[in-house]
Amino acid sequence: MDGTDEQHWGPFGRPLFEDPSARALSRVGVLDVGSNSVRLVVFDGAARSPAYFFNEKILCGLGAGLSETGKLNPEGRVRAMAAIKRFKLLAEAMDLPPLSAVATAALRDAEDGPGFRAEIERETGIRLYVIDGAEEARLSAQGVLLGWPEAEGLMCDIGGSSMELAEISGGQVGRRLTSELGPLKLTSVKGGKKGLKAYVKTVMERLAGEIGTRPKRLYLVGGSWRAIAKLDMLRRNYPLWVLHEYRMTPKELGKTLDWIAASDLDELRVRTGTSGARMALVPVAAVVLKRLVRTFQPREIAVSAYGIREGLLYEQMPDQLRMRDPLIEACRFAEQKDARIPGFGKGLYEFLSPLYKGASPARLRIVRAACYLHDVSWRAHPDYRHEVTFEAATRANLGGLTHEERVFLGVALLHRYKSSRADCHFADVFTILPERELAKAEVLGKAMRFGAMLAVDKPHEKAALQWRPKKRELHIEIDRDAADLLGEVARARLDGLAQALGAEAVVKIRG
Asked if 181 and 158 touch (Cβ cutoff 8 Å), the reply is yes
With CA atoms as reference, report the closest residue to 477 among 488, 466, 467. 466
Query: Distance between CA atoms of 478 and 484, rounded to whole angstroms?
Result: 10
**Per-residue pLDDT, 399:** 85
Our CA angle for 209, 143, 132, nearest 5°, is: 55
Our CA angle for 10, 11, 15, nearest 5°, is: 65
Q: Of the ranges 23-32, 104-113, 133-142, 184-193, which one carries the lowest mean pLDDT score? A: 23-32
Q: What average pLDDT does range 337-366 have in this prediction? A: 94
Over residues 464-510, the pLDDT tens digits come to: 999 999 999 999 999 999 999 999 999 999 999 999 999 999 999 99
Q: What average pLDDT does range 239-254 have in this prediction? A: 96
Over residues 60-78, the pLDDT tens digits come to: 999 999 999 999 999 999 9
**Per-residue pLDDT, 7:** 40
Query: Distance between CA atoms of 32 and 57, rounded to whole angstroms?
Result: 9
Q: Please list the helix, strand and coil fractions of the chain in percent, rounded to the nearest 5, in that order.
A: 50, 15, 30
Query: Distance between CA atoms of 383 and 380, rounded to whole angstroms?
Result: 8
**Per-residue pLDDT, 9:** 37
Over residues 107-163, the pLDDT tens digits come to: 999 999 999 999 999 999 999 999 999 999 999 999 999 999 899 999 999 999 999
Q: Is the pLDDT of residue 289 over 50?
A: yes
Q: What average pLDDT does range 191-215 have in this prediction? A: 97
Q: Is the pLDDT of residue 10 over 70?
A: no
CB-based burial label for 382 (10 Å; 0-12, 13-18, 19+): exposed
CA atoms within 13 A on the CB side of 101: 24
Q: How would DSSP label each residue in 182-231?
A: -HHHHTT-SSHHHHHHHHHHHHHHHHHHHH-S--SEEEEESHHHHHHHHH
Q: Is the pLDDT of residue 25 over 70?
A: no
Query: Distance between CA atoms of 314 and 324, rounded to whole angstroms?
Result: 12
pTM over 0.75: yes
Residue ranges in 452-487 assigned as alpha helix (H): 459-462
**Per-residue pLDDT, 317:** 82
DSSP state of 15: -
Give the percent of the chain with pLDDT over 70. Answer: 94
Give the percent of the chain with pLDDT over 90. Answer: 82
Q: What average pLDDT does range 170-182 have in this prediction? A: 96
